[in-house]
Each structure stands twice: as C-alpha cells, then as structure tokens.
Structure 1
C-alpha cells in the first residue's frame, strides 16, 4: 500500500471533480468456488483499491463530494472468524491506514445509501451481486454516473512515480517468467507444464497472474487459453503472460520463440517484421500523438514487410486505408495498463480509449483498437503488434475477394500452418517520448 496521504489526495481530487452527491465505491466480496468457505483467489475491485488501498473483502468507501469527507465501511470480524483467520485489523484501523474516517457497519451503510437515494453516485457494476445490491438500495432505474466515470478515468489515466515503481516490479517478475519459460519449454512437453511454471513464479513474486496466461503453439488463436497441446520441435510458442505486484499493479508481456531450436528462416523473417513494428511504435510514442496513428503506422510497416516476402502487394497507405493489414493483425496495437491489465475498461472501453477528437473505427481489425486517443505524459500503455496466419480468415477473404488487390492469396498457402507471432512491451509516456518499463 501507499502512504495514507496518497489515498487522501486521490479522494480529494475526485471530490473536487464531482462536487455534489455521495460517491459510493464498494469493494468486492469473495466469490464462492464450490461453497461459501471455498472461494476463488480474492481480487479487489480496482477502483476501490485505487482510492482505498485495501485488498480485503467486504469493505466499502463513501466520499461526500461536497466536503471531501471519506468513510470506510465494514464489519469487524467475530471471534469465530479469528479462530480460522487469525487476528485482523479493525475497520477503524484500516480507515486510519488510508487517511479516512471509520464509517459504520455494512448494515448501517445500507441505511445511509437508502437515505441518500438519488444523490448516490456509483460506477458501472460488473458483478451480479453488486447489480442486485444497487437495485435494492437505489432503485431499479438507478444508473452509473457518467460524470463520476469520467473523473475516475482522468485520475487513473496518469500514473504517478510511485505507481510506475509498482508497475516496474510487476514487469520485472513478468520478464523473469518469460525467461524461465523459454529456458524450460522443450519438445515432448505439454503446454500446461510451461503455464504452471510461470503461474508459480507470479505467486512467488508476491502477487498472482494479472490475467489468465496464453501459452500456446497455436498463436494464430488470439486469446487461446487451452494448454493441452504437446510441444513439437520447431513450434512457435507464443506466451502472453504478466504478473501482478503485491500492490495489484499489472505487467503484460508477450514473447514468441521456437521450441528446441533456433527460428527457421521463414519464422525469423516474420519475427523481424513484428519486432521492427514494436520498436518503431515505441520510438514514435510521445505526448500529443494519437495511438491510432501509431496503430496505422504499425499496419503499414507490417504490410510493407510482408510485401517484401511476396505475400502482399500494392501501396501500403492505400492498403491500410482499406484495412488489408487486418488479415494479419486483426487486433489493436495496445491498450492502457495499470491496476487492470486492460486498465479501467470496466468503466467503458470507449470512454477510456477514445474522446471527442478520436472516434473508434468501424473497420474490421482497427475497430478492435482499445486505445485510439492522443497520448499524454504519464499514460502507461502496451505496445503489442503481431502477425498471424489464420486459415479460416484467409479462406473467407479469398472466397469473398476481400482486399484482393492487396493480398497474394496463392502465396499464403505456404503459411497456413505457420501460427502467429506477437511481441509486447509495457511503456510509459514521458515528457518528450516514452520509456519501456
């Protein structure tokens, strides 16, 4: 956790932005895996943790937007709980640790929320029990407050030095995971042996995985969480995995390597294109440039690199305008990262990644760009270009003649079993450029 003043300052800034009403930021409850006392590993709500610090269940925070008064609500544990869990800090002690006042019990919180009714402002709920709770206490027609959403996004988008220090810890553990995976993976092993190794390292680093790891010889499947394939010599193994620091801040790293032998000439040719796209995007990232511009630049570089191999044809600018590059990279260049690996997307992907000056594209591939807006100093982002050969997508485009003036479909037959390569780093936007975490 950070010092109490960090959380107090954040809450004061939020109150000043919102100005009126009672801001309600509930923490998460434990989620039963099979029955009540057998729960999934606990993960605190990121907005609660940003303003209240604690990674403990059954707490809630309120902020009087007019005065800035903050109260932490919760029930002190009983002696029965102490027997099973050991002694725990009281809610009053937890409140003191974040520079807040002790509110009442959760039952008293319910009465307070009902009393405020229409003056309660909350963020979009993403868990079923929270949706039910809000309806019961605030009415079925109560909705998340967009002013509060925008105020939270504005605060959380710019990372402080202490936040970046925590993200660097997460990235350091993440990179160690990838190095160990590359050293360990061998022909004849199952993917889940490598997946288990890196998850254990995330826990050993003081946190857990920041998201379910992708460890796959089928890198052309973008979010492939199946780990049951046997690795063969020469397979491209794509690993997209990051650790959380103890503080909850995330790392999100992707590496791709050949199992049991160096990259073949064909693999290295594609790898170099992806690596160049990543390197140039990071070099060009700076305050004032739109991430959509970096995405399009990466698309042109990828198209141009594939053109040199005879796989694409025509003008790179025209091809990107037509969306031809999306056959090979049907996802965006990157996204915000922080307490969430896709930072703040529970608040609305378009509100986080776009604004009045930058609208989301409707074009296939580019519409999947999560972050298109102008970059600012203090933003932490991922840069993750990739090239994938997806047989079903290739067949569809060929049959429909999609972007036929830019794609040499006949040459792609030799790449149907290639898989995919993605490379990803975490980057902070600095005053004049960017820095790889």
Structure 2
C-alpha cells in the first residue's frame, strides 16, 4: 500500500468533487464494494484474488469481502468487514483486526459486514442518493442489488454518473507515487519480454515461451496484467492460442504485460522474426510500423488529442504503404475515408494504470473521450479507446500495427469498401504475411512525453536482429 496520507487525500478530493454544485445535506453516500474471491470449481478452490481497482485506489486494502461508505455530506468514512474467527485462524493464522487495517489507510470507523445493509437502507429511507460505480463482477452486481433493492438487470445502468465521472477525472491523472509503480511494472515487463525474445527458437512450442515469460512476472510481481498474446498468426489481433511449433521465416507477435505487487500494469508489444532475421518483405512493413510508433511518441504532449495522434500515424502508414504500391491515390482522402482501417483495424492506444485498459469497467467512452468528442464509426478509428486531449499525468499506450487479414481483405474487395484505393493484386503476396504490432507505454509530461520504465525494448529492426542473434549465439 501507499502511505495512508495518499488515500486520505484521494477520498477528500473525491468528496470535494461530489460536493460541487450540490447543496450540503443532499449529497448522499458513496458506496464502494471490494471484490470477493471467485470460485474456480468450488468455494475453497478460488481463482487468484484480484481486488477491484477503484477500491484499491481509494482504500488500498487488498483483502476480499471489504466494503466502505463515504458520507458525502459529513465526509465520515466507514469500512465494513468481519474480523476472523477461530475457524479462519486455523487455516490462515492470526490476522490483523479490521479496525487496524482501516486505520492503516486513514479510516477511523469500522463496522461488521452485516451493518452495511442497515446504513444503505437508512440512506434510502431518508431519500438520500446512494452513489456507486458500475460493477464489472457478478458478485458486486448482486451485492449492490441486495443492498439497494435495484433489480439485478438495472444495477449497471443505475450506477452514479457523477461518481463515475469524478473517479475517472482523478484516476486519469497519475500521481508521482503511481508513476513510480508503473515504471516498476514496466521494468518487470521489460524483463519478461527479454526472456521471451531469448527463448524464441525454431522447433519450440509457443506455450513453452509463454510459460517461461509468465514465470518472470510471478517470481517478482502479481502476474500478467492480461492474457498473454504470443503468436505466429498476428493477423488475429487477440490470438491467445499457444499450441503452434515455431517455424522459420514467421513473425512472432508478443503482446504481454506485467502487473506488479501494487497492481499497476505494463503493456508492451514486439514483433520478432522467428529465425532471427527479417525477410525483405517483413522489414519493409516493419519499418512502417516502427516509424508510426516513433511519430506517435514525437507528437504526444499536453494539449493534443490522442485522436489527432492516431490520425497522424494513419496518414504516415498510408503514405508508406503507397510507396510499396499497396494503396494508390490521394492520402488525405484515404485518411478521411478510413482506408487505414483495412491494415490497422484498432486504435492507436488506451489508458493504462491500475488496469491495463485503465478504468474501462467504468465506461470506455467516459474514460477515453472528452465531452465534445464523438466516437467514429470507421473501422480502426472507431476502436480508438483513448481519444482525449492529453494532460500531464496521462499514461497511454503507443501501439500502431499493420495486419493482413485475408477475410477482411476479401470482404472489402467484394463490397468495394476501399473506393478503389487498395491494390488487391499486390496484396495477394501478403495473404499469409500475418501482422506486426509495436507497443510502448508513454507518460505525458509537462513539456512532452517519456516512455515509462527504466529501459526500452529493442525496436529498430537491426537492433531486434542483433538482440536475437546474441541470444542464439
């Protein structure tokens, strides 16, 4: 956990935000539900516990079955949980009291779990608003429904818009203590990717590499920040199958991140030549993606929207794909029509922090878009998760990619979606190419940006080949 003063200040800021333009006495209560353990097959065999991220942000207690209420009129805070009994102590050993744990994060009042229902019921009977965040887990949904009487199917839609927006506004801008944790997670991510790169060998099963790299995160952190993508079929953007034998001459996309013990995330992607050297065709496309990654980083700074950065990288990609005669015509018109979506059907990046896709449980558009922005319907641009005007403290991913997806190519050709800009005859040679994605994590600073973590994974094609050659020697 951070020092208790961090959590005290965060909750005080939240109370202040929730009190803006709301008269004293009518602000209500904010209800926070921490996660419970989730059974894998039966109650005593649970999945590895992961606490709710907003709970961690405001209360820091990484323990199942905790809840809290903040009275937004009086600023009184109460943590609800039960002290262990002898049956628990037999299996778990003696545990700190709920009161001592709550005091460690600056909360002075505690009560048994059974009292939570009475507090919520009292607020409802008094006509006071009960604010809660949209839950992402079924347990939390059922718990909120039970406490408030809201039908299960309506719990998410009746969540508090004002509380959600207040939390997003705070968590979008990372504090120095958070930046240090993200740097730490990125150092661990660097190590796991280095181990993976050193173990990409022709003839090996992909799963072996995944096991080795994920072992790094478990030996020094909480584990992976999301399900690892390691595949020779990078044209499938989220390919989690790891059953293929590594073949010579392929491209291995490795999109993987670490979660450190404070639950902050990293998220890197590198694309490697399985035999240690790129072919000429692979290197031509790789350089375009690498150039797009560098351009995006150079443009990232306070005041620019990440939508503008996405479009600038799309333009560069189309210019350089035109140099290879894969597209033809006016680049500005192609950008306007969304032709880049054929080659990059995803957005440039997303927010990152306590979640690898930070806060998307609270609503992707609320998190990633300013109030004056409208999400595009175009393939690619429409999948941009972070479009906001950047401010210092934002942490975003920079992950351009180029993919040759046969089914998508065939669909566009049949339907004329490309408006005549795509050279399908030239594309035939790329049908079994796969895909390339290159991703770094970036902190927006006062005067620009910096990549997070103490190191940067090799990214220039020559540096990648040299690193792989050293591993092979």
TM (norm. structure 1) is 0.98
2:79 matched to which residue of 1?
A: 72
Of the candidates 107, 117, 134, which is equivalent to residue 124 of structure 1? 134
> Hey, what does 1:16 align to over in structure 2?
16
Indicate the larger mover: 113-122 or 177-186. Answer: 113-122
CA distance in 1, matches of 2:175, 2:142: 35
Cα displacement string for residues 246-278 of structure 1 (whole angstroms, at most 9, x for unaligned residues) = 101100111110112211111111111101101
Q: Structure 1 CA distance, aligned partners of 2:57 and 2:136?
A: 17
Offset at 1:67? 2.3
Check the 8 A contact 1:398/1:404 in 2, yes or no.
no
Q: Where do 5+ consecutive residues of structure 1 fail to align?
A: none
1:229 aligned onto 2:222: no
CA deviation after TM superposition for structure 1 residue 46, in Å:
0.2
**Equivalent position of 1:164 in the other structure:** 179
Write the mapping of 1:288-327 to structure 2, written as runs, cut at 5 A: 288-327=303-342
Alpha-carbon distance in structure 2 between the residues aligned to 1:72 and 1:54: 10
Cα RMSD, aligned residues only:
1.1
Query: Is 1:115 aligned to residue 122 of structure 2?
Result: yes
Figure out how many residues of one structure are paired with residues of the other and give that number: 437
CA distance in 1, matches of 2:443, 2:303: 14
1:232-271 equivalences under 5 Å are: 232-271=247-286
1:134 paired residue number: 144
Aligned position for 2:93: 86
Q: Which residue of 1 aligns with 2:409?
A: 394
Q: Separation in 1 of the partners of 2:370 and 2:221?
A: 36
Q: What is the deviation of 1:229? A: 1.1
Per-residue deviation, 1:345: 0.6
Distance 2:86 2:273 in 1: 55
Structure 2 runs not aligned, ≥5 long: 20-26, 453-473
Q: Does 1:36 align with 2:43?
A: yes
Equivalent in the alignment of 2:160: 145
**SS of equivalent residue, structure 2 residue 335:** helix
1:366 aligns with 2:381: yes
Question: Match for residue 2 of structure 1?
Answer: 2
Shift of 1:21: 1.2
Given that 2:117 and 2:147 are in contact with CA atoms closer than 8 Å, whether structure 1 keeps it comes out as yes
State the secondary structure of the residue aligned to 2:224: coil
Q: Tell me by how many angstroms 1:129 deviates.
A: 2.1
Pairwise CA distance, 1:136:
1.9
From 214, 218, 236, give the equivalent of 1:199. 214
Distance 1:379 1:233 in 2: 40
User: In the alignment, does 2:415 pair up with 1:405?
Assistant: no
Residue deviations 1:150-191, cap 9 Å, x none? 000000000011100000000011011111111111111111
How much has 1:73 moved relative to structure 2? 1.2
Contact 2:322 2:328 in 1 (8 A): yes
- SS of the equivalent of 1:103 reads strand
TM-score (norm 2): 0.91
What's the secondary structure of 2:69's corresponding residue? Answer: strand
Task: Name whichever of 348-357 and 3-12 sits farther off.
Answer: 348-357
> 3-state DSSP class of the match of 2:388?
coil
Structure 2 contact 401–435 (Cα < 8 Å) conserved? yes
- Counterpart-to-counterpart distance in 1, 2:394 and 2:86: 45
Whether the 8 Å CA contact 1:357–1:373 is kept in 2: the answer is: no
CA distance in 1, matches of 2:223, 2:86: 30
Counterpart pick for 2:357 among 333, 336, 342: 342
Quick one: which of 29, 52, 65 aligns to 2:59? 52
Distance 2:331 2:344 in 1: 14
Alpha-carbon separation, structure 1, partners of 2:121 and 2:241 = 45
Distance 2:371 2:171 in 1: 19
* Runs of 4+ residues deviating >2 angstroms: none
- Work out whether residues 273 and 302 of structure 1, in 8 Å CA contact, stay in contact via their aligned partners in 2: yes
The more displaced of 69-78 and 414-423 is 69-78
Contact 2:221 2:258 in 1 (8 A): no
Q: Which moved more, 1:285-294 or 1:122-131?
A: 122-131
Which residue of 1 is the match for residue 456 of structure 2? none
